[in-house]
């Protein structure tokens, strides 16, 4: 039952995070289709973040599935993850309004990186609570996607100060990697639920 409430609270926060981002899509003052043109980058950044939050929700779901005992550490590691994800609407709005600028592109990557680290900490907290023979520990071993994502985020942050569109391309590519099901490691991922 304790686990139920952890899930319910996380679902609530993620549902709100994914939905309040749309409030950044300000209604245009004009009423022609051309007035939607300047909203396109905002819409695209919303779409990208929607997919990222969706990936996190999806994997969070699998990850908590593996939890047997909810410890205080798991509670706080989970809140820590939600904290970074709650900042996604902020960087999404910033990147949407300044889609070719350096700092917003780097900030977006920094939040994704912190969320990935928070997710990794949450995994460790679950394994620690489970004890030695954790199923999750084995599943995470060869987790290629989980290990490569932070490296790509770091690359994107660095690239932002040269060509911001490269960062955007990397963010889209990482989301794509996570979206496309990888048949060979699907079973492992289903158990481990490692996110972007």
Nearest approach, Cβ of residue 75 and a second copy (Å) = 6
Helix axes 88-97, 102-130, angle to 10 degrees: 160
Which residues contact a second copy by CB under 8 A?
1-2, 5, 7-9, 11-20, 22-25, 27-28, 31-33, 35-36, 47, 50, 54, 57-58, 61, 65, 72, 75-76, 79, 82-83, 86-87, 89-90, 93-94, 97-98, 101-104, 106-107, 179, 181, 186
Which CB sits closer to a second copy, 163 or 186?
186
The two tokens of residue 14 are 């993620």
Nearest approach, Cβ of residue 13 and a second copy (Å) = 5
- DSSP line for 148-185: HHHHHHHHHHHHHTT-HHHHHHHHHHHHHHHHS--HHH
How would you class 176 by CB atoms within 10 Å of its CB: exposed for 0-12, middle for 13-18, buried for 19 or more?
Answer: exposed
**How many other CB atoms sit within 10 Å of the CB of residue 13?**
17
Nearest approach, Cβ of residue 196 and a second copy (Å) = 14
Which CB sits closer to a second copy, 98 or 134?
98
Which CB sits closer to a second copy, 26 or 138?
26
Scan for tokens 């709100």, then name that residue: 16
């Amino acid at each position: 039952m304790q686990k139920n409430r952890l899930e319910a609270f996380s679902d609530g926060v993620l549902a709100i995070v994914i939905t309040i981002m749309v409030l950044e899509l300000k209604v245009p003052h004009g009423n022609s289709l051309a007035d939607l043109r300047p909203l396109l980058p905002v819409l695209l950044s919303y779409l990208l973040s929607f997919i990222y939050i969706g990936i996190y929700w999806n994997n969070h779901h699998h990850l908590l599935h593996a939890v047997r005992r909810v410890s205080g550490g798991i509670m706080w590691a989970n809140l820590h993850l939600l904290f970074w994800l709650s900042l996604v609407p902020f960087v999404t709005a910033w990147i949407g309004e300044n889609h070719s600028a350096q700092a917003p592109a780097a900030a977006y990557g920094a939040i994704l990186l912190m969320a990935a680290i928070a997710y990794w900490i949450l995994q460790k907290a679950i394994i620690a609570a489970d004890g030695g023979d954790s199923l999750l520990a084995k599943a995470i071993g060869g987790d290629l996607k989980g290990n490569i994502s932070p490296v790509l985020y770091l690359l994107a942050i660095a690239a932002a100060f040269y060509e911001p569109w490269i960062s955007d391309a990397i963010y889209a590519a990482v989301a794509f990697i996570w979206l496309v099901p990888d048949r060979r490691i699907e079973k492992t991922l289903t158990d481990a639920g490692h996110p972007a």
